[in-house]
A = this chain, B = another copy of it.
Amino acid sequence: MKKEKVLNLLKRKNVKPSVQRMEILNYIVENKNHPSVDEIYSHLNKKIATLSKTTIYNTLKILCKKNILTEILIEEDEVRFDYMEKPHIHFKCKSCNKIYDVFKKCPLINCKKIEGHKIEEYHIYLIGTCKNCYKDD
């Protein structure tokens, strides 16, 4: 994603841009496999030597609150993050541990209510073996 696009996205959602915020958001948007906080840190640390993990946590929290990102709770021990342009499904491969985006439609996502409960968020997580790992058997 172009620098300008990230900048505009932040502005549009009322998040004051900064070098750190732009880099963090950009890395998540670019990297499709939903990097962990550690991965984000390791990668960006090369560019921004003074970067702190606390900044990453702070930024991610803001970006979620402003609905730019969504938390993915597919891993047991850490949170992942998702830039969701359109609603989609997540598939985690048990073997290689990658998290794929799947854009198959699910009628559930159009429901506003279910058994009387008002739905505000949809999280669909599938777990199994991805096509790359599967063929190695």
By a beta-carbon cutoff of 8 Å, the part of chain A in contact with chain B is: 71, 73-76, 79, 89, 91, 93-94, 100, 102, 104, 106-108, 114-131, 134
> Smallest Cβ distance from A115 to chain B, in angstroms?
5
Q: What is the interface of chain A mostly: helix, strand, loop, or mixed?
A: strand
A102–B73 touching, CB < 8 Å? no
A107–B107 touching, CB < 8 Å? yes
Q: List 12 A-B contacts (CB under 8 A).
A: A73-B125, A74-B123, A91-B115, A104-B114, A116-B131, A116-B134, A117-B126, A117-B131, A118-B131, A119-B126, A122-B126, A124-B125
CB contacts (< 8 Å) of A121 on chain B: these are: 126-128
> Smallest Cβ distance from A121 to chain B, in angstroms?
4
